[in-house]
Structure 1
């Protein structure tokens, strides 16, 4: 886990929405890069707004990053730009709006909005949400632009009888 935290308390929202710009320094970006399996993270910035929502909060905003990864085909390092949006609702533990932990079958509706996250206390760690959303946008199979994976297996035409003969020869040994 990273030492980088940017915390907003639910009580801070009593005066209205709070806007925050997140821009970790080089040391923190290096920690995040190691945690996410990147070669490096030369750039990461996020602009988030936290608004009151029911008895919790709604976090929304955008982020952009420049990541360095290793190409899965050429094994060369390369950089790519990533941009994404964050839209999450959070509620305190014990909230009537928290998702119910019901055992049994889970019904999945892809069109329904995500349920709110349940906070462990009164604090919302905006840095954790930024890193989580960055991780979701990173390509797990990075490929340098313009590189194609081109593989064609050797094709040998064999008659079924040749295959049977080879099997019979293998059994004789």
Structure 2
């Protein structure tokens, strides 16, 4: 997602137990995140996270709250709305015995089972990346300003191709 806003946490930092932190990007970082997500602007973004050891990786839980500015898909007016969401992710290092099976194997899907853990590229978890990812899931791709209504009344005139040909044959009719 946004390479300008990162907050890496190395897995060995969890050796002493859970880490609780609050993430809040500055104005330039929020502008980059807004651009990456196709938003007009991102006036506010705050996340409260707890990172705990999980098997040989980490479990990230918490909440985020953001104020996003988008363009209404009906009226084309800019408007702001508040988005909130939960973050629940597990991640393991590459090569972990707890990592999901490599591609090509048979996959069984169970809607009630927890998601498989993410596989990290290195020995660090990018907490800001997970916040941006979860924010992206909450952003409405077709935003509608509160109160905006799509008012369309179809033409009552006959618009078939035959009606057009009839007009060419009989210009007065």
- Indicate whether the TM-score tops 0.5: yes
Match of 1:36 in 2: 37
Task: Say if 1:8 and 1:104 are closer, same or farther in 2 by CA, change over 3 A.
Answer: closer
Give the alignment of 1:73-152 within 5 angstroms: 73-103=74-104, 106-152=107-153
Measured in 1, the distance between the counterparts of 2:96 and 2:34 equals: 35
Aligned-residue offset at 1:155: 3.8
Aligned-residue offset at 1:80: 0.2
> For the Cα contact (< 8 Å) 1:2–1:28, is it kept in 2?
no
Q: Deviations over 1:85-143 (max 9, x none)?
A: 00000001111110002416643322221100000111000000000000000000001
* Secondary structure of 2:13 counterpart: helix
Aligned-residue offset at 1:157: 6.3
Task: Say if 1:101 and 1:49 are closer, same or farther in 2 by CA, change over 3 A.
Answer: same
Task: Say if 1:73 and 1:17 are closer, same or farther in 2 by CA, change over 3 A.
Answer: same
Task: Say if 1:164 and 1:31 are closer, same or farther in 2 by CA, change over 3 A.
Answer: closer
Q: Deviations over 1:47-84 (max 9, x none)?
A: 00000111111000000000000000111000000000
CA RMSD after TM alignment: 2.3
Measured in 2, the distance between the counterparts of 1:13 and 1:78 equals: 41
Measured in 2, the distance between the counterparts of 1:70 and 1:164 equals: 38
* Secondary structure of 2:59 counterpart: strand
Measured in 2, the distance between the counterparts of 1:112 and 1:125 equals: 25
- TM-score of the pair, normalised by structure 2: 0.88
Task: Say if 1:29 and 1:165 are closer, same or farther in 2 by CA, change over 3 A.
Answer: closer
Poorly superposed stretches of 4+, deviation over 3 Å:
104-107, 155-158, 162-167
